[in-house]
Amino acid sequence: MVKKIREKLSVFSNYLKLYKKSLRLVLDASPVFSVMMLILVPMQAALPAATIYLANYLINEMSESGNVVNTVVIFWGITFLLGNVISPFITFIQGKLTDDLTYHLNMSIMKKSESLQTIHFFENSEFLNNIELVSSEASWRPVNLLVFGTSIIGSLITFVSMIVLLAGLNMFIALILLVALLPQVILAYKIQQQAFETLVSNTEDSRKLNYYTKAVIESKTIKEVWLFNLYQFFQEKYKQAFHRIKNSVDKNRNKQAITSIVFLIFTSLASVWSFMYIVNDIQRGRLGVGSILVFSSSVIYILQSSTRFVEDSSLLYDTLLYMDKYFTFLSLADKSADTKERDVSLTREPSTGLTLQDVSFKYPNTDHLVLKNVSFSVAEGEKIAVVGANGAGKSTLVKLLMRLYSYGEGTITFDGVDIETMDILAYRNKFSAVFQDYAKFNLSLRENVMISDLVNNHSDESVRMYLKQSGFDTKELNIGLDQQLGVKFSDGRELSGGQWQKVALARGMYADRSILILDEPTASIDVQTEYELFTRFIEMSKDKTVLFITHRLSLVKQADKVLVLKDGEVVGFDHHDALMDTNSYYRRMYEMQANPYK
């Protein structure tokens, strides 16, 4: 029993700490409006008690002496007027505060994302679930934080002020109503928490409901839904998930309804008895006639404020769980992004290129080595083809070179300096890349290309040149540089997979970095176009170091050397002709592709 009480107190203490931390965030986001809210909300909550008190005083004076106390009437009018004026003013300030808080939250999420410079964060399912929740709800959670946060403060002040008013009439009656209400409030809060926990436990089913609905309306899946007539299939799965959630929630709803009815009957009986007691005291001259107004009004306010306090506390708890995830996200640390006391000198001459020595790597939380004792060197200006079967470690290797991961064993040096000791942003500024899963930015065509180099102010002609060299002819396609790409926004134009890939290639070349990484960038382009593009790309990159991953071995003849990976190990590193003579694994791969065309 004691242990349970301690656990409850611990939960409540954490709840208050999180609420306090969230309030500090609100204050940081908008200090002026926050202070105004902290003044106006308690004032609004206390005004009903002041209005009732003044009305009671006025009624009693008039009933006893027949005289109207003008000062009291004036004060009553002021409190009544303030009560009506403050409400819309609070709504106005709340709107302003919500805007500032939403901006503050979203900007802090974007800035924090900027500080996470290694990709393993974004390949962790728990991290992705949390960041999706944090980012997707950042537009409306601040509203809940303000609405429910200020509401429970107001409800608590109203509740306490009304109890004080009742105690002024009769301390015993105030205690009776408090005893009748508190168990109901505590139980109702507990039921609300159980209902919320049930909802949380159904989050996977909730996500399934969302997925099943989207499956029959999204462009990515609609073709196969039509082809295989999957409507009934997804509707049935939706029904099953929905009823699992509904059955769990209904248990809590039924319990809540029965409990609420029982306690409301008890509270009503206590209120009726208390009212009769007040009337009896008025008849005996112990209380003034205005006591009827005080009692009836305060009881209504007490019931309303206690109910609202319970409901808003539960809803605020839900929002505070979101805030907890938000604060957890902000507390993440990425050691690779710490550039303090790092060597940022990247201009050593002459350049000795990239060197890997006994590099091994395994993904976080796994024991399988993806790369094993990898060693090779790339001189400045060399063109290196990286080949191997699926899962050989090709993409992982280039990600290590760009410091998207921190390698586990061995060393990688650039111009003789360990890359882990360099400023990560300055180091990455040497690289440009076109990934296999290239980005499709819902921006204009111009921005889709220029986004790779926001420092130098290039002309539109240079943008068109890089697009044309990548095989994307704006004149032929009748598309302007201001054309919005993608379909997320109005007037957007969707491109084919091959066209998007050409835009990605143009973006990679536009950056004009000294090292280019190509991770199968032409997979969506036909063989002839691919060969022409690649030949042109190599010509444009004469002075650059290029590493390109490819499954089409017809392209490797244009490389200075070919790096052959097998099960994470380097099994060959030489010119194509030399490998054909000396490396049976490479020769077999090459001939498997070449034979069908003979």
> Using one digit for the tens of pLDDT, what is the confidence trace for 526-574?
677 777 777 777 777 878 899 988 877 778 888 899 999 999 999 999 9
Is it the case that residue 352 has pLDDT exceeding 70? Answer: no
Cα distance between residue 565 and residue 548, in whole Å: 13
DSSP symbol at 484: B
CA distances from 355 to 376, 397, 445 (A): 6, 12, 37
Q: Whose structure tokens read 């007691």?
A: 277
pLDDT score, position 125: 65
Is it the case that residue 203 has pLDDT exceeding 90? Answer: no
Task: Tell me the pLDDT band of 379, cut-offs 50, 70 and 90.
Answer: very high
Cα distance between residue 399 and residue 401, in whole Å: 5
pLDDT score, position 412: 93
Q: Whose structure tokens read 């349970």?
A: 4
Q: Quick check: 556 and 531 in contact, CB under 8 A?
A: no
pLDDT score, position 340: 42
- Say how many Å lie between the first and final Cα of the chain, rounded: 83
Looking at the chain, the whole-number percentage of residues with pLDDT higher than 70 is: 87
Identify which of 71-75, 456-460, 501-505, 566-570 has the greatest average pLDDT: 566-570
Task: Tell me the pLDDT band of 342, cut-offs 50, 70 and 90.
Answer: very low
Task: Tell me the pLDDT band of 190, cut-offs 50, 70 and 90.
Answer: low
Instruction: Give the SS3 label for residue 117.
Output: coil
Instruction: Give the SS3 label for residue 286.
Output: coil
> Using one digit for the tens of pLDDT, what is the confidence trace for 97-126?
888 888 888 888 888 877 777 676 766 666
Range of weakest confidence among 129-138, 159-168, 312-321, 433-442: 129-138
- The CATH H-level superfamily of 364-370+382-408+424-430+514-598 is P-loop containing nucleotide triphosphate hydrolases (3.40.50.300)
Is it the case that residue 227 has pLDDT exceeding 70? Answer: yes
From the list 10, 12, 18, the residue with the least C-alpha distance to 328 is: 18
Task: Tell me the pLDDT band of 522, cut-offs 50, 70 and 90.
Answer: low
Cα distance between residue 571 and residue 370, in whole Å: 14
319 Cβ neighbours under 8 A, 6+ residues apart: 141, 144, 145, 148, 149
Question: Where on the phi/psi map is residue 285: left (φ > 0), alpha (ψ -120 to 50), or beta?
Answer: left
Q: 374 versus 537: which is more confidently predicted?
A: 374
